[in-house]
Chains A and B, each alone.
Chain A
Amino acid sequence: MSALLEVRDLKVRYGGNLALSVGALSLGHGEIIGVVGGNGAGKSTLVNAVAGWSRGAPRVEGSVQLGGRDISALPTHRRVREGLLLVPEGKLIFGTMTVEENLAEGIDDPGEGRKPYSVEEIYALFPRLAERRGHLGSQLSGGERQMLGIGRALRLAPRALLLDEPSIGLAPKLVRTVLQSVSDLRAHGLSVLLVEQNVKAAIEVVDRVLLLERGQVVLEGTAAEMRNNPRIAEAYLGAQRA
């Protein structure tokens, strides 16, 4: 069976600088790939380019296929409607709207066996959010924002989820909660590209790991192979030191 998400010859430039160059990357159905690497390695650049999105103005080349269909030419909001959902780094929810309003925008008829999560299902996944449904986005803690960001994406019936450092700034216990819920999502048939600096925690939930350095994939393998790889340990320590 072919992969759900296929990326080929992806090159991203900021101004004249090549920030990312990935020859090939494929994400299977129900697979979780962890993307790790130090600061500025190009992790965010990778997931943003796959989604066709950025807060800056990069120049992106290469092809992205979702479910065998080339979506490289689609504008970002259309990719979203096709089921390619990015939960970005940094600001990821609407601060002037309540939790409930943040979750209100769903997709009614996604087709092809996709099923959007209902608001109630998201509250079941993240009970914290249910307690805070009337609060404004700007009043939430960092962890609650991550949950809300993921919840917002699930409302749009994702086929592939691109998560950019969902555990950033979270307490260790919350990291486990968030990553556990990512892992639970796989049970629903979802594929996830998970950017993480917290390699140790991430490696417990992913199937495969990609190590990025200076915009290139320098190492790739299954979670089991990578767990004891010295370079991953080095990247992990590097991340710890950073």
Chain B
Amino acid sequence: MATVFGTIAVLALAVAGFFVPAAFGGGGAVYSACVLIAIFAVMAYGLDLIVSDLGEVSLGHPVFFASGAYATALLSTEAGLSPVLTFVASLAVAMALALLVGFITLRLREFVFSLVTYAVTVVALTLAENWSALGGSDGIAGIPLFTVDAGIASFRAVTDRDLWPVAYGLLLATLWLVSAFRRSRLGNAALKVHLNPRLATMSGIDPQKTRLMVFLVSAPMTAAAGWLYAYQRAYISADLLSPYFLILMLTAVVIIGRRLLLAPLMGVALILVQEKFFSFGGDVDRIILGCALIVSLAFLPGGIAGTARALAARIRRSDDPARTNAKNEGAT
């Protein structure tokens, strides 16, 4: 019974989510913000799997994001491919890159892993800026509208309001995938490798293979966000590899808390609402975002959710000191 109610609640929530932009007045700016929140959340979920489940910090995820966007931009402008085909191509390119990066970093851990993935991003940035096949420093303009023709019916997204169903659908699919991953054997193995590598090996898990597999799940997610972002912006450039996207996804992943399904979405929403509706100009926004990242790691180790929980626990404890004391003594 409980699971039936649970399913109904989740479905209701999913349906309700679709009407969030409408509930906030349904203006053009609201739809734009919501589409971007959905896209960047999908981007951040890719990183979330690496950070929260695998326990490593990848600084190379902007490359997967950019690879989706670049594949889409090139194939739609040069070859005239439809969104369905560019979607498939984005995922394929990202998985190929993930294999490459995964192999390079297979045996690297902790900060060396992060350093090398960071280097991957910077190298990709210099390549994208200089390589004329990728548009060089001008980027790629003139990405066509998101149009799907299916014989009788056709779908064409002119504004962000039109694009919202696609963005929301992508977000829901990603959420489903993340929660399915966490329930899967791979997700379990990843967590074991993260928390106790030696024990994981003893229980027959191959840590290197697990890492590679998680990479192969994570990279296409982030690339799918790049895919939609290319259509949404109609123009892309090497800016996709600039620190902004890296800091944005990192902050979104850590600010609310780890291994909470909705945390990255809430993190992205928090950041974008500030930038879109309470902005103080690009440079001050930059300072705010950087400080949010610093504060969540240096002072709120469990993120906002963890801090709230700790506070609640402390309040409960101070209500009833005798009971906690008794419990401590009993533990010995």
Contacts and interface: CB of A to CB of B under 8 A. Distances in A.
A17 B332 CA distance: 5
Interface of B: 328-329, 331-332
Q: Does more than half of chain A's interface fall in helix, strand or loop, or is it mixed?
A: strand
Nearest to A15: B331
A232 B331 CA distance: 28
Nearest to A215: B332
A16 B331 CA distance: 7
Interface residues of A, number: 5
A143 to B, nearest CB: 32
Interface of A: 13, 16-18, 215
5 contacts: A16-B328, A17-B332, A18-B328, A18-B331, A18-B332
A230 B121 CA distance: 70
B326 to A, nearest CB: 12
Contacts of B329: 18
Contacts of A17: 331-332
A91 B150 CA distance: 71
Nearest to A214: B332
Nearest to B327: A16
A18 B328 CA distance: 8
B11 to A, nearest CB: 41
A18 B325 CA distance: 12
A16 B324 CA distance: 11
A17 B331 CA distance: 6
A215 B331 CA distance: 14
A18 B329 CA distance: 8
Contacts of A215: 332
Contacts of A16: 328, 331
Nearest to B329: A18
A52 to B, nearest CB: 22
Nearest to B330: A16
Contacts of B331: 16-18
A135 to B, nearest CB: 31
A16 B329 CA distance: 9
Nearest to B331: A16
A129 B214 CA distance: 53
A45 to B, nearest CB: 13
A6 B332 CA distance: 25
B103 to A, nearest CB: 34
Contacts of B328: 13, 16, 18
B84 to A, nearest CB: 54
A17 B329 CA distance: 8
Residue from B328, B331, B332 whose CB has the most chain A CB atoms within 10 Å? B332
Given A16-B328, A18-B328, 8 more contacts: A13-B328, A16-B331, A17-B331, A17-B332, A18-B329, A18-B331, A18-B332, A215-B332
A13 B332 CA distance: 9
A9 to B, nearest CB: 14
Nearest to A16: B331
A215 to B, nearest CB: 8
A74 B100 CA distance: 52
Contacts of A13: 328
A17 B328 CA distance: 8
Nearest to A13: B328
A13 B327 CA distance: 13
Most central of A13, A16, A17, A215 by chain B CB within 10 Å: A16
A128 to B, nearest CB: 38
Contacts of B332: 17-18, 215
Give the 8 A-B CB pairs with smallest separation, nearest first.
Answer: A18-B332, A16-B331, A17-B331, A17-B332, A16-B328, A18-B331, A18-B328, A18-B329
B324 to A, nearest CB: 10
A126 B331 CA distance: 46
B188 to A, nearest CB: 25
A13 B328 CA distance: 10
B198 to A, nearest CB: 19
A215 B328 CA distance: 15
A178 B95 CA distance: 63
A58 to B, nearest CB: 13
A18 B327 CA distance: 12
A77 to B, nearest CB: 24
A56 B73 CA distance: 53
A213 to B, nearest CB: 14
Nearest to B328: A16
A189 B7 CA distance: 76
B141 to A, nearest CB: 56
A92 to B, nearest CB: 26
A194 B331 CA distance: 30
A37 B332 CA distance: 19
B129 to A, nearest CB: 43
A215 B329 CA distance: 14
A96 B220 CA distance: 46
A177 to B, nearest CB: 39
Nearest to A19: B332
A18 B332 CA distance: 5
A215 B332 CA distance: 10
A234 B174 CA distance: 64
B110 to A, nearest CB: 20
B325 to A, nearest CB: 12
Contacts of A18: 328-329, 331-332
